[in-house]
Amino acid sequence: MQLRYGMNPHQSARIVSGGDHVRAVHGSPSLINYLDALNAGQLVAEAARATGRVAAASFKHVSPAGAALAGSLDETMRDRWGLGADAAGPVTAAYVRARDADPRSSYGDMIAVSEPVDQQLAALLATVVSDGIIAPGYEPGTVAALSRKKGGRFVVFEIDPTYEPPAPEVRTVLGVTFEQERDHAPIGPDLLQVTGEGRLGPDATADALLGLVAARYTQSNSVVYVRDGMSIGIGAGQQSRIDCTRLAGDKAREWWLRRDSGPLTGATLVSDGYIPFRDNIDVAAAHGVEVVVEPGGSLRSDEVAEACHEHRITLVRTGLRLFHH
């Protein structure tokens, strides 16, 4: 199957095999559209399984700009989107919460939702600058409504939610073909092992699980700040983890300042790899983090744990690295 173009307009691209489980029901997708849609579709499906809640993501350049679970919309979000109190259904609420995390980065995003698109979400998306959407289904009339976006160039993907991908993944780079086992390690509450004092209640558990799933589909190194079932800052693709922590923290602080002038509190930080130095914890504490979730296993794990104790941060270790490239 021929695609509109590859990574850049001067590159041709096509699907060589597979793809029957996901189809473009409208539009002519590029390779980047497919990569964003396939990664975002996995994220929301996995987040929904892990938490039992509707999930949504706003994807840009093969990383989420935002990811969220369905929940209440605060006044800032309702005003931005013109929604009355408690007027949003779960699919719409999940996407609004995902888009609100970093609206600047979400401009021109690929949207993903874990449930079929309903009339409310389709109407809302008419006001959004976006490149496409992937969902497990569409209510009657919603594809036609979405197809009018971008002068008819908006891409609408439908994915089979029952599809189980094969275990091996294959990639070719500069004539070298690699095969690896797909990362299918389960993410659930049993993975969250509290170190030292503290405990995770239901809300903190949901935040940790959402952060882990988001990190799994974010270009490494990555750090995700989560609060109240929504990512509020994602630092992606940095060579230094402290840069990820600062970048995500600055985004989280900007998100908070749109709604409150006081200090941010109640955030959870999730790291896709182990935290190597305590400076990450010091920065996290300054950005309102109260729970840190990381694989553990660094040479200075004891120093990281001590820093969490000093800042009264609950430290959770999973033993699971989630690099994504």
Per-residue model confidence (pLDDT) at position 61? 94
pLDDT confidence tier of residue 84, bands split at 50, 70 and 90: confident
Q: Residue 16 has what pLDDT?
A: 93
Residue 185 sits at the vertex; the CA angle it makes with 183 and 190, to the nearest 5 degrees, is 155
Which pLDDT value is given to residue 46?
A: 98
- Other Cβ atoms less than 10 A from the Cβ of 312: the count is 10
pLDDT in tens, 155-175: 999 999 999 999 999 999 999
Superfamily of structural domain 189-317: AICAR transformylase, duplication domain (3.40.140.20)
Q: What's the CATH architecture for 22-159?
A: 3-Layer(aba) Sandwich (3.40)
Q: Is the pLDDT of residue 85 over 90?
A: no
Order of strands, sheet of 155-159, starting from the edge strand that comes earlier in the sequence:
22-26, 155-159, 130-135, 109-113, 55-60, 63-69, 230-236, 222-227, 267-271, 289-294, 314-317, 193-195
Residue 285 has pLDDT above 90, yes or no: yes
Q: What are phi and psi of 260, to 5 degrees?
A: -160, 140
Q: Residue 86 pLDDT > 80, yes or no?
A: no
Q: Where are the CATH 3.40.140.20 domain residues in the chain?
A: 22-159, 189-317
Average pLDDT, the chain: 96
- Please say whether the beta carbons of 5 and 12 come within 8 A: yes
Percentage of residues in the chain having pLDDT higher than 70 = 99
Report the pLDDT averaged over residues 130-147. Answer: 97
Predicted confidence at residue 289, as pLDDT, reads: 98
Overall average pLDDT of the 272-286 stretch: 97
- CA geometry: angle 31, 32, 33, nearest 5 deg: 90
**Do you find a cis peptide bond into 39, omega within 30 degrees of 0?**
no
Q: Specify the pTM.
A: 0.96
